[in-house]
Amino acid sequence: MRLRVRQPVALEHASRLLNHGPVVLVSAAHQGRANVMTAAWCMALDFRPPRFAVVLAQETFTRELVDASGALVLQVPPCRMLEIVDGVGTTTGREVDKWSRFGLTRTEGTAGPAPLVGGCLAWLECRVLPEPGIATSYDLFVVEAVAAWADDEAFANGRWRMPLPPELRSLHHLSGGSYLVDGEVVSVAR
């Protein structure tokens, strides 16, 4: 297996990393504490600037770190991380160190305090755009990507290299512990 290489993604292509509605891992850090959670409710909002919306429940530790730091990373895990994705989404960083529990690696963010979770397909380093009304009413956050990265085996030259090898396909949450994996690619001539 060759080494994977994390390459920068042009910000104008960043929305494509989440267009297909995959589950994401959300990581955040503040004053030496870092956490990661799973979010099925995340989507792109705009191309330029590349903005995204994500739901962060009020009681989560990640939300506390995001509120304190104003930053987070959205990253797309491949289906070989299924057990991690589900485990990270059903435990709380207030009780367990998810990094050691799930054997997660992380590297420092390049543009903010939130770390990048190892083994993912793509990473969006984001700053939170302050919208306290919708955060309070709906746990809804609007963020703007300030740096984007992708595993060059999965995404290159502004496009996903679909269809991806089976182990690199992304996950889509159904309910409980069930997920769909990316299937075939279909295209319309425009």
Stretch that binds its own copies, among 70-78, 94-102, 106-114, 173-181 (CB under 8 A): 173-181
> Residue for token digits 């600037």?
49
User: CA–CA separation, 18 vs 13, rounded Å?
Assistant: 10
CA distance 160 to 164: 8
Contact string (CB under 8 A) for its own copies, positions 46-85, x = contact:
x----x-x-x-----------------------x--xx--
**What is each CA distance from 136 to 55, 82, 140, in whole angstroms?**
11, 31, 8
In sign, the C-alpha dihedral spanning 123, 128, 131, 137 is: positive
Binding segment (CB under 8 A) for its own copies, from list 34-42, 63-71, 91-99, 117-125: 34-42
**Closest by alpha carbon to 129, among 45, 58, 60, 62?**
45
Among 92, 162, 165, 167, binds its own copies (CB under 8 A): 162
Shortest Cβ 53–its own copies spacing (Å): 6
Residues 51, 145 contacting (CB under 8 angstroms): yes
Among 12, 19, 59, 97, binds its own copies (CB under 8 A): 19
Told to check if 173 binds its own copies by CB under 8 A, we report yes
Q: Which of 20, 92, 118, 136 binds its own copies (CB under 8 A)?
A: 20
Q: How many residues bind its own copies (CB under 8 A)?
A: 52
Buried b (16+ CB within 10 A) or exposed e, 36-62: bbbbbebebbeeeebbbbbbbeeebbb
- Using CB under 8 A as the criterion, which residues of the chain lie in contact with its own copies when the complex forms? 16, 19-22, 40-46, 51, 53, 55, 79, 82-83, 86-87, 90, 131, 133-134, 138-140, 142, 159-160, 162, 169, 171-190
